[in-house]
Amino acid sequence: MSGADQTKAMSGADQKRSVSETDQGGGETPKPERIAKVLARAGLCSRREAERWIAEGRVQVEGETLTTPAVTVNAEARITVDGEPLPQREKTRLWIYHKLAGLITTNRDPEGRPTIFERLPDDLPRVVTVGRLDIASEGLLLLTNDGELARRLELPASGWTRRYRARVYGRVDAKALAGLAKGVTVEGVTYGPIEAVLEVAKGEVGKEKSAGKGSRANSWLVVSLAEGHNREVRRVLGHLGLTVSRLIRTAYGPFQLGKLKPGTLRPVPQKVLDEQLGTAPKGKEGGEKKTPRKKTPQRKTLTMKKPSEKKSGKKTGTGKGHARRRG
């Protein structure tokens, strides 16, 4: 069957079956989705990888091997990859991983270099990365079991800022760094606005002034950007005559690396994830229904207690809420 015929077959009869089943139950009719998107949501791969798997003949729907990714399927479709059914979809989760330098951000490396996936805990479900860090870079790398979420967070449309600490060697020109806020073109590639400032530790104000005048030494810069092209930080700073000897990503949107030890990871709490992605259930602020606090009637007059009276321990007013730290 040709690719066009497969598209019609999968998005025709299967969609009718899905509509009839949901109508009988009186529920909302689920919308059919592209097969690559379904595979990504299952956490097996990214959309791009799913399209490659289809081209390799590894994906079957209703027992028929697909030859094109231009196929839509419903929730009831029987889908297999390499003969194995899709795993039951789990709730979307996100982890913060502290990548070490020297590791490749890929599943397999043709050159046999170590990958981050070889260093992850055995009890971690199948995950994909949100973007990449090159082999020499280190720091925060987001992992998720939802390939579709990974793709969403990678896009500049997410508006999430990536922040890095870069150790550089060369003459740091404060004006040149400030000029990056307007964007810059390097070797024919145009990069969007970048915020780059000299990082100064306590007690090193004098060094900041000398560095701003063009001293040649190792310095630390804080670089923030929204696009995250391949090797963008290294190329842009190299364009300014600075050599990056170390690059650490410290934040991705609202998520911070903090004091997470190198080579370890921590899960993002579900409530925090729902708040940041806007996926909290409707009618429940922050993903949880808040129970109204009973108001304690306030006394109009205050009287001093006698030494013999015991303290009741009751609060006479509402306490201040604790500010929750995001990310």
Looking at residue 118, the DSSP 8-state letter turns out to be: G
Distance CA 150, CA 312 (A): 53
SS3 115: strand
Distance CA 80, CA 87 (A): 9
Active site includes 122?
Answer: no
Distances 325 to 155, 234, 269, 275 between C-alpha atoms, Å: 25, 31, 11, 12
Distance CA 236, CA 89 (A): 41
CA 39 to chain CA centroid, nearest Å: 18
Distance CA 60, CA 66 (A): 6
Distance CA 255, CA 253 (A): 6
SS3 33: strand
Distance CA 52, CA 47 (A): 9
CA atoms within 13 A on the CB side of 111: 7
Q: Can you spell out the DSSP letters for 207-259?
A: HHHHHHEEEEEEEEEEEEESS--TTHHHHHHHHTT-EEEEEEEEEETTEE-TT
Q: What angle, rounded to 10 degrees, do the helices at 147-154 and 47-55 form?
A: 120
Active-site hit among 23, 109, 123, 134: 134
- Distant-in-sequence, close-in-space partners of 145: CB < 8 Å, separation ≥ 6: 43, 90, 92, 93, 125, 126, 127, 128
Give me the active site residues, please: 134
